């Protein structure tokens, strides 16, 4: 078997793969908000929206504090840092590891508009 650890990268990236949830995160990065306020701009039912919040909560990306009948949600950056770090480490590793063949392939793909050996459109 391979050396991947499950930690919660699965969860974090999965959370981030939904545009609604990314939008929520971006919104919350501007400050805490109530559920209703956050939900407003989205074209979906409130239950649908709060499901997304639950997903964010379960992944540890947001928390809330309750004030009367309101729930004020705020961002929890640590979970996101996990994902950010994974990608940054990968990127820097990758950038140091390019073989000349790979550099060649990358180059020819970026300069010409297509390459016989490049089957990705």
Partner DNA sequence: TTTATAGTTAACCATGTAGTTAACTGTAAT
Partner DNA sequence: ATTACAGTTAACTACATGGTTAACTATAAA
The total number of residues written for the chain in this structure: 121
For a second copy, give the closer residue by CB, 17 or 47: 17
> From DNA, a second copy, none, which one binds at residue 34 (CB under 5 to 8 Å depending on kind)?
DNA
When asked if residue 36 is in the footprint of DNA (CB under 7 A), the reply is yes
| Distance, CA of 94 to CA of 91 (rounded, Å) | 5
* Site track 5-24 with DNA (rule: CB under 7 A), x = hit: ---------x--xx-x----
Q: C-alpha angle with apex 16: 51 to 93, nearest 5 degrees?
A: 160
| Distance, CA of 43 to CA of 80 (rounded, Å) | 26
CA distance to 76, 89, 110, per residue, from 86 (Å): 17, 5, 26
Residues binding a second copy (CB under 8 A): 1-4, 6, 9-11, 13-14, 16-20, 22-23, 25-27, 29-32, 41-43, 57, 60, 62-66, 74-77, 80-81, 83-84, 86-88, 90-91, 93-95, 97, 99, 101-102, 105-106, 109, 117-120
């Amino acid at each position: 078997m391979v050396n991947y650890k499950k930690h919660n990268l699965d969860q974090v990236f999965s959370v981030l793969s939904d545009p609604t949830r990314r939008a929520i995160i971006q919104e919350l990065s501007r400050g805490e908000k109530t559920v209703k306020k956050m939900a407003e701009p989205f074209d979906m039912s409130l239950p649908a929206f709060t499901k997304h919040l639950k997903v964010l909560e379960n992944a540890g990306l947001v928390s809330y504090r309750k004030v009367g009948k309101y729930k004020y949600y705020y961002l929890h950056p640590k979970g996101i840092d996990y994902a950010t770090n994974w990608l940054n480490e990968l990127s820097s590793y990758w950038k140091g590891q390019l073989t000349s063949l790979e550099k060649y392939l990358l180059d020819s793909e970026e300069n010409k508009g297509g390459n016989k050996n490049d089957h990705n459109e």
